[in-house]
Structure 1
Amino acid sequence: MSVVVITGSAGLIGSEATEYYASLGYRVIGMDNDMRQDFFGPEGTTRWNRSRLEKNLGANYVHYDVDIRDHHALSEIFLKYKQDIALIIHTAAQPSHDWAAREPLTDFHINASGTLNLLEMMRLHCPEAVFIFTSTNKVYGDRPNELPFLEQESRWELDSGHPYSNGIPETLSVDQCLHSLFGASKLAADVIVQEYGRYFQLKTVCFRGGVLSGSRQSGVQLHGFINYLLKCAMTNSSYTIFGYKGKQVRDIIHASDVVAAFHAFFQNPKRGGEVYNLGGGRDSNISILETIEWAQHITSKKLNYSYCDQPRTGDHIWYISDTSKFRKHYPNWSIQIPAPQIMELIYDENKDRWKV
């Protein structure tokens, strides 16, 4: 049986990919040690999602409670399955700007050194496999904030005639700008994934995601804003907007659309460290104020929110992904679930868990 290795398998994208490939008949080897709970406390745990996968997928899912910084533990797993590994999907990460600033060594070792460990596993044990890395738009640092934004009633925008009005392309410089320590560690990982592809001619790819969302994310204040905001609305908890008048714009992509892009690449992979921006693009984007309006509409509750004039360090004023490069290479892929529908799914699928 062909094997798919997925790190962060109990997280949002990892669990979506786990279910998808198990449904196709692959044996999924999942790695997740629930460090999200260490990062964000009990609210951030993914234990519930791991239990759901183990219950629903049976023998098609094998879970390892392993840390991707542990080279020896990874070696044992890859040696066991190396003959059958067709695909590695690397989604495990420390995902928060603020947390990274508190523990930069831990952040870098997880995001950069952990990624290097996995690339070495591929090179040594299964070099014909495909390696998919879940990178981030934060590799561009605050460079997008230099664009000439126009203030509208509920959002910042670019003039329709601007070269980037359709979104940020992969050619935007990642150099000489403020990244946050999280952005820097993810950029280091992004570059090493490219390098293993180019130098060793391996089939590696970086997907630089916008806001990845879906109903199975353990959203917290420091990460997963759509889920967290909806949870606040559903549970009558307070929410804080940080800077930019709440008009900052994010493109939102559902986990299933992310995994569909992964699978398109897996079916027709390229060697040499390809890079794609991946997000909702112009088909699925929303500002904080617009998100609040939709949340109140969906939940029929008024969100209790406050405003802090200080934005988070390195945060984007406006970020929409230009996905034209990926769509050109894989024309059958497109956004299937836009932002408002994503929010409705999060609400419907979490009403019992969040005791609405």
Structure 2
Amino acid sequence: MANYLIVGGAGFIGVNAAEHYAQSGHAVTILDNLSRQGTANNLKWIQTEHPSVRFVRADIRTDQTLLETEIAQCDVLLHLAAQVAVTTSVVDPRTDFEINALGTLNVLEAARCAPRPPILLYSSTNKVYGAMEDVPVICEGNRYAYQNLPHGVAEEQPLDFHSPYGCSKGAADQYVRDYSRIYGLRTVVLRQSCIYGPHQFGNEDQGWIAWFLRCALLGNPVTIFGDGRQVRDVLDVGDLIAAYDAAIKNIDRSSGRVYNIGGGPANTLSLLETVDLLEKTNNSKLDHSFSDWRPGDQRIFVTDVGRAWRELGWTPEVSPKHGIARMRTWMAANLEAVAQAFHT
């Protein structure tokens, strides 16, 4: 049994990870400031299902002493706390920086000063690659496609931070890498694509599959920013946690490394295809309209997951069709809580 500390553990990914590690017999502590919509619901659920899960209310920007105390007691640290929306970062870049960059530095310093520094996994983002304007993109029907990247974007793609969010997450990404090089911490950076699954409340700015599904179930219209042909590789949260497990299990190989983690070319959806899939799933039309592109939006991002397969033995297993169906079951059963989270 190991001691797991999940920073940002009341969020969508965090609460799924907490459930997984609690079910596996590990001691789990969630550290979260409960600032995001839906986190209070997630915390109530996980503590009902798994009363052994500890909760520590703290903010990674300001509560350094508490961070140091908790990190000193853990064997594995999942750093998932973040400001996650590009649009929010444009409106309030200072808060975005303080959470994503400064907050991550605080976590790293607490880990560095621990008597026995834990394994540290960092939840990064594909946004560190920017708009990739030098990569040729073609239009194929209702989706965009890479002209010359059949396997998607690999870790060798140059970094190019776009938007305050890209800058803050990119800075944190590089700090996590460097703390392995300079201080010998066992850190792993996971540049995640679009993750979806149960306990994701989603909103118009972030978590688009959850947002589209929520609107479909509530009969609300959806605004598509751009032309709807934007493509993302999507990954079920269970597959993501399997990637965490693989990185931890193979820490002698993964320490100091960066991995692109997503659904890969076999698990891609355009926004228009997602609308069509949800209409078929719900047997009803999803009212949608179009608006201008948002800052930092990529026409396409598809992850090359080859390094994770070669070094960690990890590959996605859940198809979008089956994963979204599972997510729909959860959301339909919790629709009142989902609606209340956004004051609908």
Normalised by the shorter chain, which TM-score bucket? over 0.9
Given candidates 249, 254, 258, the residue that maps to 1:267 is 249
The offset of 1:140, in angstroms, is: 0.8
Given candidates 308, 313, 317, the residue that maps to 1:336 is 317
Deviations 1:310-334 (A, max 9, x none): 2111111010000101100022x22
User: Is structure 2 residue 53 aligned with structure 1 residue 64?
Assistant: no
Please report the RMSD computed on the Cα atoms of aligned residues, expressed in angstroms: 1.5
SS in 1 for 2:20: helix
Instruction: Read off the aligned partner of 1:154 and give its amino acid letter.
Output: N
Aligned residues: 335
The offset of 1:77, in angstroms, is: 2.6
Deviations 1:177-223 (A, max 9, x none): x5110110000100000000111121101100110111211110011
Name the residue aligned to 1:276: 259
TM-score, with structure 1 as normaliser: 0.91
SS in 2 for 1:100: helix
Unaligned ranges ≥5, structure 2: 340-344
The offset of 1:352, in angstroms, is: 2.5
TM-score, with structure 2 as normaliser: 0.94
1:276–1:199 Cα change, 3 Å: same
Deviations 1:265-298 (A, max 9, x none): 1111036521000000012110000000000011
- Separation in 2, partners of 1:29, 1:158: 42
Contact 1:17 1:259 in 2 (8 A): yes
- Separation in 2, partners of 1:196, 1:224: 30
User: Is structure 2 residue 219 aligned with structure 1 residue 236?
Assistant: yes
Q: Within 5 A, what are the aligned runs for 1:21-170?
A: 21-36=21-36, 44-59=37-52, 61-69=53-61, 70-79=63-72, 81=73, 85-143=74-132, 145-159=133-147, 162=148, 164-170=149-155
User: Is structure 2 residue 282 aligned with structure 1 residue 299?
Assistant: yes
Q: Give percent identity, aligned residues only.
A: 33
Instruction: Read off the aligned partner of 2:237 and give its amino acid letter.
Output: A
User: Is structure 2 residue 314 aligned with structure 1 residue 321?
Assistant: no
SS in 2 for 1:207: strand
The offset of 1:127, in angstroms, is: 4.2
- Separation in 1, partners of 2:4, 2:75: 6
Deviations 1:62-101 (A, max 9, x none): 001111112122123335x2xxx21000111000011111
**Any runs of at least 4 consecutive aligned residues in structure 1 with deviations exceeding 4 A, and if so which?**
none
Contact 1:97 1:180 in 2 (8 A): yes
Unaligned ranges ≥5, structure 1: 37-43
- Separation in 1, partners of 2:138, 2:275: 21
User: Is structure 2 residue 14 aligned with structure 1 residue 2?
Assistant: no
Instruction: Read off the aligned partner of 2:60 and give its amino acid letter.
Output: I
The offset of 1:3, in angstroms, is: 0.8
SS in 2 for 1:241: strand
Name the residue aligned to 2:342: none
- Separation in 1, partners of 2:34, 2:56: 11
Name the residue aligned to 1:39: none
Q: Within 5 A, what are the aligned runs for 1:213-252?
A: 213-243=196-226, 245-252=227-234
- Separation in 1, partners of 2:179, 2:162: 23
Contact 1:6 1:89 in 2 (8 A): yes
- Separation in 1, partners of 2:229, 2:99: 32
SS in 2 for 1:281: coil
Deviations 1:238-266 (A, max 9, x none): 111111x2000000001111110111111
SS in 1 for 2:244: helix
